[in-house]
A and B are shown apart, each in its own frame.
Chain A
Amino acid sequence: MNKISTPKELPEYSESIVNTVREPLIIMDQHLRVITASRSFYDFFRAEPKDTIGKLIYNLGNNQWDIPKLRELLETILPQKTSFDDYKVEHDFTTIGWRTMLLNARQVERSQSNDRIILLSIEDITERNAIQEGLVKANKELEILTKDLVKAAQVKSEFLANMSHELRTPLNSINGFSEVLYDETFGTLNEKQKQYVKNVLVSGNHLLLLINEILDMAKVEAGKMTLTVTELPIKEILYEISGLIKDAANKKNLKMVIDISTYLKNIQADSLKIKQILYNLLSNAIKFTPDGGEIGIKATQTDTETHIVIWDTGIGIALENIEKIFEGFFRIETPYSRVTEGTGLGLPIAKKLVELHRGKLKVESEGNEKGTSVHIILPIKHITTVIRDENKNSHS
Chain B
Amino acid sequence: MKTKIVIVDDNANNLLLEKDLLIVAGFEVHTAVNANDAIQLIKEVKPQVIVLDVQLPDISGAELARILRSSIDTVSTPIVFVTASVLQSDIDHLLSIPDSAYISKPINTRTFSKQVSQCIK
Residues in A with CB closer than 8 Å to B108 are 396
Residues in A with CB closer than 8 Å to B14 are 169, 172-173, 176
A112 at the interface (CB under 8 A from B): no
Residues of A196-232 whose CB lies within 8 A of B: 208, 212, 215, 219, 224, 226, 228
Residue of A nearest to B104 (CB): A396
Q: Which of B40-48, B60-68, B69-77, B80-88 contacts A (4 or more CB under 8 A)?
A: B80-88
Q: Is A208 within 8 A of B106, CB to CB?
A: yes
A23 at the interface (CB under 8 A from B): no
Residue of B nearest to A227 (CB): B88
Q: Is B106 within 8 A of A396, CB to CB?
A: no
Main secondary structure of the interface of B (DSSP, over half): mixed
Q: Is A395 within 8 A of B105, CB to CB?
A: no
Beyond A179-B110, A183-B110, A395-B101, whether A172 also contacts B87 by CB under 8 A is no
Q: Is A169 within 8 A of B110, CB to CB?
A: no
Residues of B89-121 whose CB lies within 8 A of A: 89, 91, 95, 101-110, 115, 118-119
Residues in A with CB closer than 8 Å to B106 are 168, 171-172, 175-176, 208
B21 at the interface (CB under 8 A from A): yes
Residues in B with CB closer than 8 Å to A8 are none
Residues of A212-255 whose CB lies within 8 A of B: 212, 215, 219, 224, 226, 228
B59 at the interface (CB under 8 A from A): no
Q: What's the Cα separation between A348 and B86 when bound, in Å?
A: 19
Residues in A with CB closer than 8 Å to B105 are 168-169, 171-172
**B: interface residue count bin:** 20 to 34
Residues in A with CB closer than 8 Å to B115 are 395-396
Q: Is A161 within 8 A of B107, CB to CB?
A: no
Q: What's the Cα separation between A393 and B94 when bound, in Å?
A: 11
Q: Is A161 within 8 A of B87, CB to CB?
A: yes
Residue of B nearest to A171 (CB): B106
Residues in A with CB closer than 8 Å to B102 are 393, 395-396
Interface centre among A168, A171, A177, A396 (most CB of B within 10 A): A396
Tell me, rounded to whole Å, the shortest Cβ–Cβ distance linking B68 to chain A: 19
Q: Beyond the given A212-B86, A219-B87, could you list 14 further A-B residue pairs with CB under 8 A, ordered by the A residue number?
A: A166-B84, A172-B11, A172-B106, A173-B17, A176-B17, A176-B106, A176-B107, A219-B86, A226-B88, A226-B89, A394-B101, A395-B80, A395-B118, A395-B119
17 A-B contacts (beta carbon < 8 Å): A165-B84, A168-B84, A171-B106, A172-B14, A172-B107, A173-B14, A175-B106, A175-B109, A183-B109, A185-B20, A185-B24, A219-B87, A392-B95, A393-B95, A394-B101, A395-B115, A396-B102
